[in-house]
Amino acid sequence: MNALNISVSAKLYNKNPEETDLGKRILSKSIELMEEMGYEHVTFKKIGLSLESTEASVYRYFQNKHQLLAYLINWYWGWLEVKMAQEFMMLNSAEDKLKRAVELLVLPMDEDERIPHIDEGTLQRLVVAEYPKIYLTKEVDAENEEGYFLGYKRICDTLGNLALQINPDYKYPHSLFSTVISAAQSQQFFTEHLPRLSDAATGRKAIIEFLTEMTLNSIQKR
């Protein structure tokens, strides 16, 4: 039994992978494979093979690769939400909480030993590399109704509410945090692959400073 369980909508799997050994190994291995070779190059056949299992067995847990990615990414947001809640308890001001939230979005993650089958650091890199692919599809409206994007929405809400504590008149809390969160991802990606699209030669610290400044300057009453 896990000491900690992240809940993911039942629409995101055929059969709950957290409930069986094979299921957990599928999660673990697909994070590893997708991060390593990229979403497009992964197939259920390869996942099955590398687990010494079969394609058909992976299909028993997930309808297709897209659903599997959506599951993993929702798991990540769910887990990040838990992390944030934990860290926020130790902080008092909304501003400090927002600053810490930005750090959590950008700093590399340590393995959480309460959840041995998920490598959070690798999963974070996977999210950075693949996140928009789960909503940039023609199926977005249908999948939205199935709860494919709840994890992300909840985090945006939480952070938006903190912003409103600082300035109740701020008009764009949802837009701001969907922007900040996705910028947190893309700036990490750009720093590594398209450096001319960032100014973060100094690495994660610069990304955090950029995002924090942008966030607080946007919210501030003036």
Instruction: Supply the minimum distance, in Å, between the C-beta of residue 59 and DNA.
Output: 5
Cα distance between residue 191 and residue 156, in whole Å = 24
Q: Does position 137 bind DNA by CB under 7 A? A: no
Q: Does position 136 bind DNA by CB under 7 A? A: no
C-alpha radius of gyration, the chain, whole number: 18
17: tokens are 């992978």
Q: CB 31: neighbour CB atoms within 10 A?
A: 25
Cα distance between residue 203 and residue 184, in whole Å = 12
Between residue 52 and residue 111, which ones bind DNA under the rule CB under 7 A? 52-57, 59-60, 63-66
Check: CB of residue 58 under 8 Å from CB of residue 26.
Answer: yes
Between residue 160 and residue 199, which ones bind a second copy under the rule CB under 8 A? 171-176, 178-179, 182-183, 186-187, 189-190, 193-194, 196-199
Encoded one letter per residue, x for contact with DNA by CB under 7 A and - for no contact, window 30-49 reads -----------x-xxx----
Q: What angle do CA 71, 187, 119 make, to 5 degrees?
A: 40
- Given candidates 60, 100, 117, 133, which one binds a second copy under the rule CB under 8 A? 133
Residues of this chain that interact with DNA (CB under 7 A) are: 15, 19-23, 41, 43-45, 52-57, 59-60, 63-66
